[in-house]
Structure 1
Amino acid sequence: MRLETRGLSWQAAASYIVEEVSLRVAEGELVGLIGPNGSGKSTLLRMIYRVLRPAAGHALVDGRDVWRLSARENARRMAVLAQEQAGEFGFTVRDMVLMGRTAHRTAFERDGPDDFAIVEEALRRVGVDHLAGRAFGTLSGGEKQRVLIARALAQEAGLLVLDEPTNHLDVRHQFEIMNLIRGLGLTAIAALHELHIAAHYCDRLFLLQDGRLVHCGTPAEVLTEPIIAAVYGVSARVRISPRTGRPRIELLPDELC
């Protein structure tokens, strides 16, 4: 799947929260959406996954405007891990992942053998098959994120949209989740708060400031000392890792710009 936005904008009252953002995500890319708090990252994603209707512009998946698709058609193309998750209501892990099959059933159709086989494979693929019978609400943060990724896999969508997938996770689980996402091979766009995560895992980065796209490119092109200082208001020391060829970022919080 390919994702493109053309002049995407959203406003509250008379103020633009996101203004004329155009970007492209190629087949199989993992791109990061970065920027300070309030820069419009989550708002942009909500327009892409059809929670907020744009004031202007279009979000296209494989050339088709997502707002012109039915909810079922869109769910077959796009899976979402939002910051806000629906209530758990005592669902088991298997129940949560089975929800990903909804897009492939009619309203009154029951889950069949193929659905259960797809769910079991998704659970196995993300390493939570041993938790299938557990109540979702009893899991750790990292385990919950794995289950939600399994649900996205069961949905069989080619595009994954993630709003801060590592939020509230400790360092180990941050890397586990990003390794998992990186290894899926899906087209993915993720709003990310941690610059070191974005630098290490993303093919390209889109940097937002005050609702506008101000920089885009590889992590090495976007995460430079002058750009970090100008957008985030802090000094940073950036070095290219000889092992990975990617930026290594040391923020210097005592040296405000």
Structure 2
Amino acid sequence: MTLNDNDIEVEIAAGRLIENAAMGGIAGACYELRMGTVYYDLTEGGKRFALKPGEVALIKPGHRVVLITAEVLKIPNDILVRVVSKGALFSVGLSPVATYADPGFNGNLGIVTQNVSDKFVELPQGEAIAKADFSQLTAPAAHLYQGQHGFQVGIWPIKTHLQKAYHEVKDDPRVLSEQEEAFLLLPVATRTIIRRMEMTQIWTLVAVFLALFANTATLFLISSNWVDQVWGIVGNLAASGLIAAATIIGNFVRRSR
């Protein structure tokens, strides 16, 4: 059985299920959990951000974060909580979230999400970030939640030993070169543009060196003065170097736009 809005309201009023609840967050058969004052940026090594009053959580493009709820869940031994993200957050680029809190869970809930857009996402404190529904079990659970509450102890329990750097897995036959693996993270259109720019740069450099070779050969053929030949070669080298540098810089500027 899933608790409806009246059931949830009665439980909260009796001091059960949720501490620091906002009654306006009760809707239908769920409660909308809000953004609290703390979040962790996993992409920056689990860096902890404690928000000042009025300050917003900032989720950078591509970054994976743990959002800590304002509410403290107090789950009885006969209730299971299912948590899913709000659809409004999908539309701004935050990845879907589906998690749960076991019977016996007591603490702020950490919700992991990732900004899959190319925009910075700001989440104000108190913003609804997920929906929680409460299911009544047929009988109290025998094995209650015994996990670590990262927010309370100041350490988020991330299994970093499962993460590997490229040099640790490069010998695995399933792993491509570091450059190829990096390219696979990019959209197809972006990979295509970068490949074309690289080919343009390569052919430009080839053309420059061919021109240098041709000019040098011509100087040797038409001049009997070795000093003039040497200075001509130096001049050609300098000019070719400048052209090559300008080409590389131009490609870099176009790539960074």
| Larger RCO, structures 1/2 (Cα 8 Å, 6+ apart) | 1
Larger radius of gyration: 2
TM-score range, shorter chain: under 0.3
Q: What's the TM-score, normalizing by structure 2? A: 0.22
| TM-score, normalisation: structure 1 | 0.22
